[in-house]
Amino acid sequence: MKKENKNLFISGLILGLGLLGAIDGIVFHQLLQWHHMVLSPNIQLEIFTDGLFTALFSALLIWGGVKIFQDAREDKLGTSWKIFLGGIFVGGGLFNLVEGIVDHHLLQVHRVKPLAENPLLYDLGFLAIGLLLVIIGFIIIRLEKNA
């Protein structure tokens, strides 16, 4: 992959991480209110950790935007929408996979829907969606290479 396209892919990947973090925070934490970043009887701790999570994905979105601007300014940014979109899908999928494996299974700080009859199904579905997004991302990138 040419350096310009690699920069475009990395920017998309960073934005994908931030975007799926935002979707997770908005949908699961705020709209559905299924969980907080850390499940605790202390609501202040839950809200504080959600705030840290929001700060993290916001920083990723800003970083991705700044990287695009810097690479474009130095004429080191590719122009392929497929590579960029593929990077976003891969980044979003990696967010789900890492967050799901680390927070849901290794650290066990929360589950996707802890009050569900079978919370493991929701956790596994979250991981399956992450894997699907990564696969879609690489398919999109492969379509660009074969074009």
CA distance 29 to 102: 17
Instruction: Say whether pLDDT at 93 is over 80.
Output: yes
CA distance 108 to 15: 26
CA distance 84 to 16: 10
pLDDT band at 146 (very low <50, low <70, confident <90, very high): confident
Q: State the pTM of this model.
A: 0.94
Please count the structural domains in the chain: 1
On average, the pLDDT of the chain sits at 96
pLDDT of residue 87: 98
Q: What is the span of the domain harbouring residue 66? A: 3-146
Arithmetic mean of pLDDT, 37-63: 95
Looking at this protein, which amino acid is placed at residue 45? L
CA distance 80 to 8: 8
